Amino acid sequence: MTVANRWRLPDGIDEVLPEQARHVEHLRRSLLDYFALWGYEQVIPPLMEFSDSLLLDLGHDVDVYAFKLIDQISGKTMAIRPDITPQVARIDAHSLKREGAVRLCYAGSVLHTRAKSVLASRSPIQVGAELFGCDGLDGDIEVISLMLGMLHAAGIENCHLDLGHVGIYRALVADSGLTQDQQAELFDALQRKASAEIDILLQAAAIKPAMANQLRALGRLNGDVTVLAEARKVLAGAPAATLAAIDQLQAVADVLQERMPSLVVHFDLSELRGYDYHTGLVFAALVPGHGQALTNGGRYNDIGAVFGRSRAATGFSADLRAVAQFSQLAIASDAAIFVPFELAQPAWHEVQRLRAEGEIVVVALSVEDVVDSRCDRILTCTDECWSVVSL
């Protein structure tokens, strides 16, 4: 690399410059403070852990997205976290070891070997909240309400809620006789709602017609709450777990609509986001007119076991910079007081007093012959009296 392009950043790796950084920092604080109001306590997990601790083996996704490194001290494989959720699950299961419900939140950088979507960053700032120890629907409801509240706290209104349940697909395929490979292919096709492919797959696998119809129907079962009634018809005769999952979707949606009557809820029964580690209700919030989910999450009950303690868990996360793009939060003014160079030393105590009052004060250096553009006032001294006057 020549001197001329040493400043280049790798694809999908971004820096945040002052104006945007003020916005991102303000949003970061607002969201962590909002989580705190709900009793969610912040934790700061490390950037890097042994690969095993990051649960890279749990799901194909996590493994593919993680940068791996050799620890010079232990000789073991470590990875830069591609996701903070498994770290927080480790903290709940092992480090805190508290009984009952535990509410945790976090904000921190993660790294991905490749972008998760065309527009996504490879270095997102992940912010999220996780609830452990509650397997009831009231846990799902709390976490989804918190997620929607977070978006409101970020000044983002009119988000749609997307609800799904991986239990529906799981129960259907468990009964289907499909091999692991076939399940993976079908999963992939369903995600893309590629109905022709789904047909071919089901035929090739010689699935019983009734079950094939049910699996095929999944891809179509998305829309408003009427989808649930339709699903009960189409999936009549499906395993009990499938119908129980539909009941859960209904119950959660009912409470959320009661809390937020204007909330638009969209159901998608083939939604299998994070199929590898989710175990129940999954959800996402979308800004109308913007394809990508702004924040998403779901139930992932089994993770704690690998750290020695099986715990119910549900939570969500978002990329802070993606949220910042839509956030309408007003931020405090950065208007400053200018102090001319010749006053730098005599004004020292006055400047410190002004800063202690919360004023931004830029004291000119010998090289500064122009006033910083943020300065709208200037410190002056007349008859040994300090005063701040407009510029």
Site for its own copies in 350-369 (CB under 8 A): 352, 355, 358-363, 365-369
382 touching its own copies, by CB under 8 A? no
- Could you tell me whether strands 360-363 and 375-382 are parallel, antiparallel, or unpaired per DSSP bridges? unpaired
Interface map 99-138 toward its own copies (x if CB under 8 A): -xx-xx---xx-x-xx--------x-x-----x-xxxx-x
**Which value, to the nearest 10 degrees, does the dihedral of the CA atoms of residues 239, 285, 92, 79 take?**
100
Residues within window 41-60 making contact with its own copies, judged by CB under 8 A: 41-50, 52-53
Find out whether 110 and 96 touch, Cβ atoms under 8 Å: no
Question: Looking at 205, 241, 264, 336, which residue binds its own copies (CB under 8 A)?
Answer: 336
Q: Rounded to an integer, what distance in angstroms lies between the CA atom of residue 356 and that of residue 351? A: 9
Left, alpha or beta for 377 (phi > 0: left; psi -120 to 50: alpha)?
A: beta
Q: Which is closer to its own copies, CB of 362 or CB of 378?
A: 362
The single residue listed with the structure tokens 């009557």 is 261
Q: Which is nearer to its own copies, 109 or 213 (CB)?
A: 109
Query: Would you list the DSSP string of 150-168?
Result: HHHHTT---PEEEEEEHHH
- Interaction between residue 6 and its own copies (CB under 8 A): yes
Rounded to 5 degrees, what are φ and ψ at 135? -95, -5
Q: Which is nearer to its own copies, 270 or 279 (CB)?
A: 279
Of 23 and 160, nearer to its own copies (C-beta) is: 23
153-212 residues near its own copies, rule: CB under 8 A: none
**Nearer to its own copies by C-beta: 2 or 180?**
2
HEC sequence for 331-365 = CCCCCEEEECHHHCCCCHHHHHHHHHCCCEEEECC
Residue 371 has which token pair? 């006033």
Token pair 């007119």 in the structure block, residue: 289
* Residue 3 within binding range of its own copies, rule CB under 8 A: yes
Q: Is residue 326 close enough to count as binding its own copies by CB under 8 A?
A: no
Q: Which is nearer to its own copies, 4 or 196 (CB)?
A: 4
Residues numbered 233 to 272 that lie near its own copies (CB under 8 A) are 255, 258-259
Contact residue for its own copies among 61, 67, 301, 340 (CB under 8 A)? 67
Smaller CB separation from its own copies, 231 or 303: 303
Question: Which amino acid is located at 373 in the chain?
Answer: S
Query: Taking CB under 8 A as the rule, does residue 75 contact its own copies?
Result: no
